[in-house]
Chain A
Amino acid sequence: AQSVTQLDSHVSVSEGTPVLLRCNYSSSYSPSLFWYVQHPNKGLQLLLKYTSAATLVKGINGFEAEFKKSETSFHLTKPSAHMSDAAEYFCVVSLSGGSYIPTFGRGTSLIVHP
């Protein structure tokens, strides 16, 4: 069984300040973890993924995430928020090594103030 919890439904930051979106997961086996972004009226876009390689994963648009097995966390960070980062972010867990049956978090809405 697997599950994922995004700890904040909304996160509000000012432009230029750091972003932290929190994700905790539960998985019976070694997981693969992903972060996706969804802009209004658009499909999802992959930001980054962890599939049992380096624990610090760098993604697109300056985002990165660190896999911490001891804390069962996969938090998404960005040093400096940009107005264009305002969107819905989804943390996803799947069993690694084959079948991709993803479980999505409920999403975190990132609001960026000028």
Chain B
Amino acid sequence: KAGVTQTPRYLIKTRGQQVTLSCSPISGHRSVSWYQQTPGQGLQFLFEYFSETQRNKGNFPGRFSGRQFSNSRSEMNVSTLELGDSALYLCASSLVSGDNYEQYFGPGTRLTVT
């Protein structure tokens, strides 16, 4: 069974631009969560989508948004990029939502903002 895939793996953007990251969950998984990992702040939960609806949200500004499609694939968008948005963005999928279900992580997208 294929794992969680994230595209692109690496991305360089300029301050003020916007970016869209993509995540394809494991087949059959309906929940997709997004995380930001930086040396300064560590790992932080961004949001979770389940059945095309945002179910949970972390403490991030509105510049960070996401969506989920009917095939459970998810995209994350960051508008008006700031230097501090440089990070590894991780996506994780699970069968359904909730802490009883193991999350499987993708390898991440490394975003660099210059």
Tell me whether A and B are bound partners: yes
Which residues of chain A have a CB within 8 Å of any CB of chain B? 32, 41-46, 49, 51, 90, 94-107
| Nearest CB on B from A34, distance (A) | 8
Question: Does B48 have its Cβ within 8 Å of any Cβ on chain A?
Answer: yes
Q: Which B residues from 54 to 72 make CB contacts under 8 A with A? A: 55-56, 58
Residue pair A99, B98 in contact (C-beta under 8 Å): yes
- Pair B42/A100 contact, Cβ less than 8 Å: no
Question: What's the tally of chain B residues with a CB closer than 8 Å to chain A?
Answer: 22
B45 cross-chain contacts in A, Cβ below 8 A: 101-104
Within the complex, the shortest CB–CB distance from B57 to chain A, in Å, comes to: 8
> Cα distance A62–B55 when bound, in Å?
34
Q: Which residues does B use to contact A, with CB under 8 Å?
A: 4, 33, 42-45, 48, 55-56, 58, 90, 92, 97-100, 102-103, 105-108
A106 to B99, CA, bound (A): 20
Give the Cβ gap from A54 to chain B, nearest Cβ, in Å: 15
A98 in contact with B98 (CB, 8 Å): yes
When distances are taken between beta carbons in the complex, the residues of chain B under 8 Å from A44 are 90, 92, 103, 105
A72 to B: closest C-beta gap in Å: 18
The answer to whether B43 touches A104 (Cβ under 8 A) is: yes
Nearest CB of chain B from residue A106's CB, rounded to whole Å: 5
* Other contacts beyond A44-B105, A94-B99, A99-B98: 7, CB < 8 A: A32-B99, A43-B4, A98-B98, A99-B55, A100-B33, A100-B97, A105-B42
